[in-house]
Amino acid sequence: MKKVTVRFTNNSKKRFYQIFIDSGLIKKITSIINVNSYSKIFVITDHNVKKLYHDKILSSLPNKVITIVLPSGEKEKNIVNIQKIWAAMHAAQCDRKSLIINLGGGVISDMGGFAASTFMRGVNFINIPTTLLSQVDASVGGKTGIDFDGIKNLIGTFNQPQAVIADIQTLTTLPKREFLSGFAEIIKHGLIRDKKYFEKITSKSPFEFTQDEIKDIILKSCHIKADIIKNDETENNSRRILNFGHTIGHAIESHCLETSLPLLHGEAISIGMLAEAEISHYMNLLTVSDLKLIRKVLINAELPVFASGLQTEKIIKTINSDKKTEKGIVNFTLLSGIGNALFNQHVPIDLISKVIESITKKSL
Ligand SMILES: NC(=O)c1ccc[n+]([C@@H]2O[C@H](COP(=O)([O-])OP(=O)(O)OC[C@H]3O[C@@H](n4cnc5c(N)ncnc54)[C@H](O)[C@@H]3O)[C@@H](O)[C@H]2O)c1
Ligand SMILES: [Zn+2]
The residue whose CA is least distant from atom 18 of ligand 1 is 105
Q: Is 193 in the pocket of ligand 1 (CB under 6 A)?
A: no
Q: What is the pLDDT of residue 260?
A: 84
134-168 pLDDT tens trace: 999 999 999 999 999 999 999 999 999 999 999 99
Kindly report which listed range (20-29, 189-198, 222-231, 311-320) carries the lowest average pLDDT score: 311-320
The alpha carbon of 30 and the centre of ligand 2 are apart by a number of angstroms equal to: 30
Q: Rounded distance, CA 269 to CA 137, Å?
A: 13
Distance CA 277, CA 150 (A): 25
Closest by Cα among 222, 228, 239, 98 to 164: 222
Mean pLDDT, range 58-84, rounded to an integer: 95
Quick: pLDDT tens for 311-349. 888 999 899 876 666 666 788 999 999 999 999 999 998
Q: In this predicted structure, what is the pLDDT of residue 324?
A: 66
Provide the b/e sequence for 64-85 (b: ≥16 CB within 10 Å): ebbbbbbebebebbeeebbebb
Which residues lie closer than 8 Å to 361 by C-beta, 6 or more apart? 308
Within 10 A of 17 (CB to CB), how many other CB atoms are there? Answer: 19
Angle between helices 246-257 and 312-320 (to 10 degrees): 120
Does 177-361 match 2-174 at the fold level?
A: no
Rounded to the nearest angstrom, the distance between the alpha carbon of 135 and the centre of ligand 2 is: 12
In the CATH hierarchy, which top-level class contains the domain 2-174? alpha beta
At 333 the pLDDT is 98
Is the beta carbon of 138 within 6 A of some atom in ligand 1? Answer: yes
Q: Residue 229 in contact with residue 17, Cβ under 8 Å?
A: no
**Binding-site annotation: residue ranges for NAD(+):** 72-77, 106-110, 130-131, 143, 152, 170-173
The domain ranges of the chain are 2-174, 177-361
User: Atom 6, ligand 1: which residue's CA is nearest?
Assistant: 138
pLDDT at 364: 44
pLDDT in tens, 214-224: 999 999 999 99
Which tens digits make up the pLDDT trace of 212-260? 999 999 999 999 999 999 989 999 999 999 999 999 999 999 999 988 8
Residue 363 has pLDDT above 60, yes or no: no
With a 6 Å cutoff on the Cβ, whether 52 touches ligand 1 is yes
For 5, 310, 326, 358, the CA distances from 354, given in Å and listed in that order, are 42, 14, 22, 6
Q: Tell me the ligand closest to 78's alpha carbon.
A: 1
pLDDT in tens, 259-279: 888 999 999 999 999 999 999
- Ligand 1, atom 8: closest residue by C-alpha: 138
**pLDDT computed for residue 321 by the predictor:** 78
Binding residues: 72-77, 106-110, 130-131, 143, 152, 170-173, 185, 246, 265
Q: Is the pLDDT of residue 112 over 70?
A: yes
Query: What is the CATH architecture assignment of 177-361?
Result: Up-down Bundle (1.20)
Q: Answer yes or no: is pLDDT of 120 > 70.
A: yes
Q: Do 6 and 140 touch, CB atoms closer than 8 A?
A: yes
The rounded distance, in Å, linking the Cα atoms of 146 and 81 is: 9
